[in-house]
Amino acid sequence: MNNYFKNTKLFNYKKSLIEEFSNNKIPKQDYVISNCCYLGQNLIFYSRTESFKNNLYNLIPTSWQYHHDLKENEVYHIYLQDPEDLSIELEWDSEYSQDCIIDGNMAIQRDFVAKVENKNIYLISKTEIGDGFYNFLRWFLPRNILSQNKIVLHSSCVIFNNGNANFFLGHSGAGKSTISDLAGDRIVLGDDMNLLSFEGGEIYAQAGAIGGKFYPDVDYSKKYKIDNFYCLNQGDENIVVSMGKSKALLKIISSFANLFWEEITKEEKDHCLDLAKEIVTKFNFYKLTFVKDKSVYEVIDG
């Protein structure tokens, strides 16, 4: 299970820490971050630092905050502990690999470890809005919001002058951040993780709010209609070529982020395939070869 986690000693140490944390059940936490409806998932955070509470409220839109009328079985309670408060014996993030290792109801990554017990989640991560917090959300949220017909998409997403969203897909290093940096005065929802919402026969784009470059002017609660999907490839000239449906289907499925396919059920996999087919049916997919220059948008607009 931990073959991808090179620092085996640290891996086992984090497992023991989260077991001890969860066995103590609900530890004292000084600050409650009341019900957040984060990408549609109802969460309550408990933290020992007021700064985490303030920073979280500054990050998420007001419409995601203070949902007090929810039923208890709809809410996850997240108890956050900073590793610095545990007097740990090893350097917390002394691991080269960025892989998130799933071990039953537990997840371990270089900057966080978490365990789920029913509706309680025990999380050890730095109490800041940073990599550990976002990596936890990337592990926890995608599978949980799938039942709401929402998909986290590994992508950059740019709003064009007509007010519609265009997605840019590609593996790490393909140019998602570059295409965002070249967007000029266009709105960029996110350069790494964005959200697809399926509602009433329509599909909308939203900012993901789970990492990547932060764009302070983005309204995380706003939904955008979608124009096209572009699969990125850096080259010596700007070329846009239409993609066939079969290749587009493979590309969109491979861009569904952090679902951990070996962990999800057959029903969830079938649901993902149905959503992917709906995307490919409704939108055009293009292979975009581009140079690192703003002229790429002239080709796309054309």
Q: What is the pLDDT of residue 286?
A: 97
pLDDT, position 183: 94
Residues 292, 180 within the same domain: yes
Residue 2: what pLDDT? 42
pLDDT for position 70: 65
Residue 168: CA count within 13 A, CB half-sphere: 32
Determine, yes or no, domain membership for 65.
Answer: yes
Of 146, 174, 195, which closes a domain? 146
Q: What is the pLDDT of residue 209?
A: 86
The pLDDT, as a whole number, for residue 116 is 95
Residues 197 and 225 in one domain: yes
Give residue 24's pLDDT: 77
- Indicate the residue type of 130: G
Domain boundary among 88, 118, 146: 146
Same domain? For 113 and 182 the reply is no
CATH number, domain containing residue 295? 3.90.228.20
Q: Is 11 helix (H, G, I), strand (E, B) or coil?
A: helix
88 and 163 fall within a common domain: no
Q: What is the pLDDT of residues 175-197, one digit of tens each?
A: 999 999 999 999 999 999 999 99
Question: How far does CA 207 lie from the centroid of its chain?
Answer: 10
Q: What is the structure's pLDDT at 26? A: 60
Shared-domain flag, residues 228 and 119: no
User: Alpha helices, DSSP H only, in 77-175?
Assistant: 131-146
Q: Are residues 86 and 20 in the same domain?
A: yes
Tell whether 2 is covered by a domain.
Answer: no
pTM: 0.90
Q: Do residue 13 and residue 94 come from a single domain? A: yes
CA distances from 72 to 11, 53, 80 (A): 33, 21, 19
Is residue 251 located within the same domain as residue 287? yes
Number of domains in the chain: 2
Same domain, 247 and 135: no
Does 274 reside within a domain? yes
> Do 163 and 48 share a structural domain?
no
| Cα 7 from Cα 165, distance rounded (Å) | 41
Residue ranges of the chain whose pLDDT lies below 70: 1-3, 25-29, 67-70
Domain boundary among 113, 146, 179: 146
Model pLDDT, residue 28:
62
Q: Decide if 229 contacts 284 (C-beta within 8 A).
A: yes
> Can you give the residue range of the structural domain that contains 206?
150-301
Is the same domain home to 72 and 124? Answer: yes
Pair 296, 239: CB distance under 8 Å: no
